[in-house]
Amino acid sequence: MSLPTKVKIVEVGPRDGLQNEVQNVPVEVKVKLVEMLVDAGLTSIEAGAFVSPKWVPQMAASAEVYQQVTKSPGISYPMLVPNMRGLEQAIECGVEEIALFAAATETFSQKNTNCSIEESITRFTDVVARAQTESMRIRGYISCALGCPYEGDVDFDVVTMLTQSFHDIGCYEISIADTIGVGTANKAQALFEQVAKVIPVDQLAGHFHDTYGQALANIYAVLQCGIAVIDSSVAGLGGCPYAKGATGNVATEDVVYMLDGMGIETGVDMDKLLDAGVYINEFLDRAPVSRAANALLKKKAS
């Protein structure tokens, strides 16, 4: 069994983690959270999304967040954009990296982006072409890759086709997402093995939600495929506005604890990561979802 010696963690808490929160999270809180995550050693942190505030009100102040975050050398602050309008907002803010997304089923695509899969391909192709004129780095997401809240099982060939499309138009990395957390280890491994036949494995990432408690098992399974980039969310924050019942992304603390225990380098300082989780959870008035965080915090307090 071959495992990577180093894994890059893409922190999605400030975007994917907070987008489903009902209470308003002020700009200054988001900015501090991002900066605490940078201090913890994370090198890629989604700071927000240029989406319609009507549909995702929590992301309404993303421009202010991006502009107020103190940029550190060598750190990426990707911003999610769904369309050309979002891209133009990103350009106005001086964003250097964007993230695009497409869904692997027709129903989810219509619910999430109000277009078909084919239309989404045309849309993100146009967005990428424009972004490339601004020398932006571009990351892609494939949503609902292991299960759809409306259609159930997902055709792996569609996931592979979308991943190939993102790769062909210039995405440097494509994150395959189990948006509703229904995947299990064998299925996750089979999907990544199939996609890796047409896309270089070093351009693939895994994005797992923990709805059914399977995220760490799925991550371990895809590490065995050579995947060395994992998306996660501090304190297990998150959910999807378009997938009822979907809980948060896998907690960054749980991922770091597992990888540390396996001798796989992440560059993340667990104590500082715990501080970031405590900070945002105290604001939200809740306990961390992360089991590792809860255990380590109790140990520190004893």
Question: What is the C-alpha to C-alpha distance for residues 281 and 285, in angstroms, rounded to an integer?
Answer: 6
Count: domains in the chain: 1
- What would you measure as the largest C-alpha separation in the chain, in angstroms? 56
Residue 1 lies in a domain: no
Q: Phi first, then psi: give them for residue 265, nearest 5 degrees.
A: -70, 135
Residue 94 lies in a domain: yes
> Mean pLDDT per segment of 10 residues, for the chain of length 302 residues?
93 94 94 98 98 91 98 97 96 98 93 87 94 98 96 97 96 96 97 97 97 96 98 85 62 98 98 98 91 95 88
Provide the residue range defining the domain that includes 183.
Answer: 8-301
**Burial of residue 224, with CB atoms counted within 10 A of its CB: 0-12 exposed, 13-18 middle, 19 or more buried:** middle
Q: What is the CATH number of the domain that holds 199?
A: 3.20.20.70
Q: Which of 17, 12, 42, 47 is nearest to 232 (CA)?
A: 12
Residue 2 lies in a domain: no
Q: Quick check: is 240 catalytic? A: yes
The answer to whether residues 238 and 215 touch, using CB atoms and an 8 Å cutoff, is no
Residue 3 lies in a domain: no
Pick the catalytic residue: 115, 148, 225, 240? 240
Q: Which pLDDT score, from 0 to 100, does residue 113 have?
A: 80
Q: Which pLDDT score, from 0 to 100, does residue 241 have?
A: 47
Question: What is the C-alpha to C-alpha distance for residues 275 and 280, in angstroms, rounded to an integer?
Answer: 9
What are the percentages of helix, strand and coil residues in the chain, rounded to 5?
45, 15, 40
Q: Which pLDDT score, from 0 to 100, does residue 32 have?
A: 98
Residue 241 lies in a domain: yes
Q: Which pLDDT score, from 0 to 100, does residue 22 have?
A: 85
Residue 216 lies in a domain: yes
Residue 33 lies in a domain: yes
Residue 16 lies in a domain: yes
CA geometry: angle at 255 spanning 144 and 157, to 5°?
25
